[in-house]
Amino acid sequence: MEMKAFLQEVTAKRGLPGDEGPVAQWVAERFGEYCDEVKIDAMHSVVGRIKGDGPRLAFLAHLDEVGLMVIKVEDDGSLRLGQVGGIDPRILPGMRLTVFGKETLPGIVGAKAPHLLSEEERGRAQKLEDMYVDLGLPAEKVKELVRVGDQVQLEHRFVELKNGRVAAKTLDDRCCVAILYRAMEHLKGLKHQADLYFIASSQEEVGGRGAMTSAYNAEPDMAMVLDVGFAHQPGCDRESTLDMGKPLITLGPYLNPVLTGKLEEVAGRIKVEVQKEVAPRGTGTDTDEVAASRSGVPCVLIGIPVKNMHTAVEVLDMNALEEAARLVAHFAAACEASWEEELWN
């Protein structure tokens, strides 16, 4: 399957934190095309392995998505929502959501019309508690089909823009799952020594919880985490954002400098252009858990710049994905036993 087609399908799949079953199942099948063994663990993380005799090297990209949850069914049949992961409620009014009740139901987010707002309300953004989901169903029917705690997904559209850019929900971080898949394809034509683990981790959006147990199980000697970064856009300052089109490498105390050096060497050798950013403390990714797993795992962190992160219209450049996939594959192929000794010298 082509990477773009993979991305289109994988971004549509259901997989809020704690509910990654459907997306995990689909990803496990795709990973199975290239892996020697694939399993879905107790936390819904997908772990694919391509065997090797060398050090154990894990790659992690998270599987889950930010979304919403039903917290109340009102007497008029409308639903009230709570957040699962960080969502700016301002993206919601007028959006078509998917409610996973006893049946999968489309619903539209409503809020008070502007002409009904008081002077005070007009000046501020509507909060999540001011909004509701309209299922177009009578209240009795809603109560039959929907329960408090049911998961609600943002609207999914996969839109191809100019210059190889695409827009969809959940590019964070399924674009990096797509990179892993593409890297496996590249690896068919490469020799590798390392024992490779490809982990699509669960529950990152609520704090790296899937990565914790997957890293524990895989017990890697080294790891690369892949996640999205902030592409430049209006409303964000240049210093904290990145250019589209190139993958990024993150530097900082949670990342191993020698392993990062190896990664840069590989990038230079295969001519993958990268940009760098610095995370002076936590990285806000699975790295933070993986690096401290068991007795410690030296990590590198790469990423894809994305605009409008955590909205239904995240935008990325396919070229950055292609380049990142080459980098991942060649890094996997380059990894050898001697690296481990070098890491602390």
Residues that bind other proteins (CB under 8 A): 76-78, 86-88, 90-96, 105-108, 110-116, 123-126, 130-132, 134-138, 141, 157, 159-165, 167, 230, 232-236, 240-241, 284, 307-313, 315
Cβ closer to other proteins: 15 or 107? 107
Structure token pair of residue 266: 């590989």
Residue 284's φ and ψ, nearest 5 degrees, are 70, 25
Whose Cβ is closer to other proteins: residue 217's or residue 287's?
287
Residue 236 or 337: the one with the smaller Cβ distance to other proteins is: 236
Least Å distance between CB 310 and other proteins?
Answer: 5
Q: Toward other proteins, which CB reaches closer, 118 or 295?
A: 118
CA–CA gap between residue 161 and residue 148 (Å, rounded): 37
Minimum distance of other proteins from residue 286's CB (angstroms): 16
Residues facing residue 52 across a β-bridge:
none
Q: Token digits for 61?
A: 């990209």
Query: Residues 229, 248: contact at Cβ < 8 Å?
Result: yes
Taking the complex as a whole, the smallest distance from the CB of residue 307 to other proteins amounts, in Å, to: 6
Judged by CB, which is closer to other proteins: 196, or 315? 315
CA distance 266 to 279: 22
Closest approach, Cβ 92 to other proteins, in A, equals 8
- As measured in angstroms, the least distance from the Cβ of 247 to other proteins is 18
Decide whether 86 or 268 has the Cβ nearer to other proteins: 86
Give the Cα separation of 73 and 79 in Å (integer).
5
Specify the pairing of strand 151-153 against strand 222-230: unpaired
Edge-to-edge, what's the strand order for the sheet holding 159-160? 159-160, 165-168, 314-317
Measure Cα distances from 2 to 8, 24, 181, 261 in Å. Answer: 10, 19, 10, 31
Minimum CB separation of residue 51 from other proteins in Å reads: 38
* CA–CA distances in Å: residue 315 to residues 73, 163, 308: 33, 12, 7
Cα→Cα distances 28→8, 227, 318, Å: 16, 19, 23
DSSP annotation of 123? T
* Least distance (Å) between residue 69 CB and other proteins: 17
Q: Identify which of residues 193 and 233 has a Cβ nearer to other proteins in the complex.
A: 233
Is the CB of 106 or the CB of 296 nearer to other proteins? 106
In the complex, minimum distance from the CB of residue 339 to other proteins, in angstroms, rounded to a whole number: 33
Angle between helices 171-187 and 21-32 (to 10 degrees): 20
Q: Cα–Cα distance between 187 and 98 in angstroms, integer?
A: 37
The CB-side HSE value for 117 (13 A sphere, CA atoms) comes to: 13
| Helix (H/G/I), strand (E/B), else coil: 304 | strand
